[in-house]
Structure 1
Amino acid sequence: MDTEAKPQERDRSSELPEGSEEGSRFSRIPSRFAASMSWRRTLALGAVCAVGVLLFSNFVVQPFLIPSGSMESTLQVGDRVLVNKMAYRFGSVPQRGDVVVFDGTGSFVQETSPENPVTGLLHGAAASLGLAEPAETDFVKRVVGVGGDRVVCCDKRGRVEVNGRPVNEDYLFAGDVPSRVPFDIVVPGGTLWMMGDHRSNSRDSRDHLGEPGGGMVPVDKVIGRADWLGWPLSRLGSVPGTAAFDGIRTPGSAHG
């Protein structure tokens, strides 16, 4: 019979004094790991949210900072409008009276030299969230004429006429006249004649009559329709519509 005492496995935990360096080191590892994982989860969640917001802004609704008074009093300097990028995606086209944001490259401004790609990316991201002024090539104006329209200014009462019908532009800035610049144009198919609501403070299609394109904006350059006001909170709501163009017929159409 084996009577030799078997060595007992030592309980090392009993030999570690409370607060010893080895014990505290092991106790700190899980907490550090947990903190690291928490920060990683937070950063990952933040990145996913940022990408989601940018995608939403690029394809659905984009905030747009109003940098000038060319659309007063409908839109004021500092307003953030929410531009509906789905408005013209499924066969719909801009209508007379719509307030739209568009890329004016080639119509309102000449081709610009490429900017620093990093700076451009950062500015584009900020602008897409309404945190910075839009690109210098982006404009917000009202559609006054669509393809096929004859737009004339002015009739005997000083009003703009579209296809022979006077337009009572109730949205004009108080005290403004429809235009101090006379014009008589026919809008080519696939393009738009754009004017600001504050006519005396707006550089629009009238200012580019003698340039290539004649001030006409191609429909495919329209970014979206300004449907809502998102900021300031005191102006929260829909961008006011207008009935000024109701009843105007398009040439060659029996139904207008």
Structure 2
Amino acid sequence: MTGSVAGRTNGGHGRLGRVLSGLAVAVGCVLFLGGFAWGAVEYLPYTVPTDSMDPTVKAGDRVLAQRISGDQVRRGDVVVFKDAEWGDMPMVKRVVGVGGDKVACCDAEGRLTVDGKAVEEPYVGRTPGGLASTTRFGATVPKGQLFLLGDERGGSLDSRVHLQDQGQGSVPRSSVTARVDAVAWPPSGMVGRPAAFAALPGGVSEPGPVRLLVGAVVLGALLILGGAAYEPVARRLGGARRTGRTGGEVPTGAR
């Protein structure tokens, strides 16, 4: 009688375990596939062709760029854009000025200034003398336009070389298609929002949902693996318990 009750109890536990493992796999599939689907809608993969954004992003890096409209762009954003006067091909640069800004370089300490306020730029690659630009410049950004620089200020072809163009080197906000959030390969983590621009009007943009997407995919994968592993682990443990109760051998009289 006792063995019968124990059998029913173990059977009940087994059924509950199978239900929970199936639920874990189902939820895991939703998170895993949903994370990839959300990422495909939200993000644009892009391979950076040059070192103009070094050291933030290097040539050949694969980045995740969130699809945005031009009116969402803030100072400090690293954006993907395309403009006919810049060669009509996708490019990656950092926004340092928006419509109405007076952007100049360099002040007495070699820093970039926006409306006369110095901007600390720890992301800029080394230049001779530690200057924020190898060439001095000044421009007033027209309304609805963006002034863009590469982080590798020694060799980047950016707004500085287009100062004689209409718009003083700037590009329309509408030319922006995405904002870089992270370097996916080789894995280098998030591309941060520079704190130096936070004090200026409009502040900086909020980080995109890339962390949530990665978290959903990783958690989904763990749930799928854990749920799928339940049945074989439960069978192995059940077999070990039965062997332990019989002493590991079948009694001679029972053969």
TM-score by length of structure 1 reads 0.59
Match of 1:93 among 72, 78, 88: 72
2:111 is aligned with 1:147? no
Q: Distance in 2 between matches of 1:144 and 1:105?
A: 20
Instruction: After TM superposition, list the pairs within 5 Å mapping 1:109-120 onto structure 2.
Output: 109=87
2:192 is aligned with 1:240? yes
Q: Distance in 2 between matches of 1:183 and 1:141?
A: 17
Q: Which residue of 2 aligns with 1:183?
A: 137
Secondary structure of the residue that 2:161 maps to in structure 1?
helix
CA-based RMSD of the aligned residues comes to 2.4
Gap runs ≥5 in structure 2: 1-35, 203-255
Q: Distance in 2 between matches of 1:201 and 1:181?
A: 11
Could you tell me whether the CA contact under 8 Å between 1:100 and 1:225 is conserved in 2? yes
Q: Which residue of 1 aligns with 2:117?
A: 165
TM-score by length of structure 2 reads 0.60
Percent identity, aligned pairs only, is 41
Q: CA deviation at 1:184?
A: 1.6
Match of 1:220 among 174, 178, 186: 174
Q: Distance in 1 between matches of 2:159 and 2:143?
A: 16
2:83 is aligned with 1:104? yes
Q: CA deviation at 1:166?
A: 0.4
Match of 2:62 among 80, 83, 87: 80
Letter in 1 for 2:133: S
Could you tell me whether the CA contact under 8 Å between 1:145 and 1:151 is conserved in 2? yes
Match of 2:108 among 156, 159, 169: 156
Q: Distance in 2 between matches of 1:191 and 1:172?
A: 22
Residues 56 and 248 of structure 1, relative CA distance in 2, 3 Å threshold: closer
Q: Distance in 2 between matches of 1:201 and 1:170?
A: 17
- Aligned residue pairs total 166
Render the CA deviation track for 1:53-103: whole Å, top value 9, x for unaligned.
8x975x531111011110010001111001100x438xx521110000001
Instruction: After TM superposition, list the pairs within 5 Å mapping 1:46-65 onto structure 2.
Output: 60-65=42-47
Q: CA deviation at 1:185?
A: 1.1
Secondary structure of the residue that 1:141 maps to in structure 2?
strand
Gap runs ≥5 in structure 1: 1-51, 110-135, 251-256
What stretches of structure 1 move > 3 A for 4+ residues in a row? none
Could you tell me whether the CA contact under 8 Å between 1:74 and 1:240 is conserved in 2? no
Q: Which residue of 2 aligns with 1:9?
A: none
Q: CA deviation at 1:138?
A: 0.9
Letter in 1 for 2:192: P
Could you tell me whether the CA contact under 8 Å between 1:101 and 1:140 is conserved in 2? yes
Q: Which has the higher contact order (CA 8 A, sep 6+)?
A: 2
Match of 1:193 among 147, 153, 156: 147
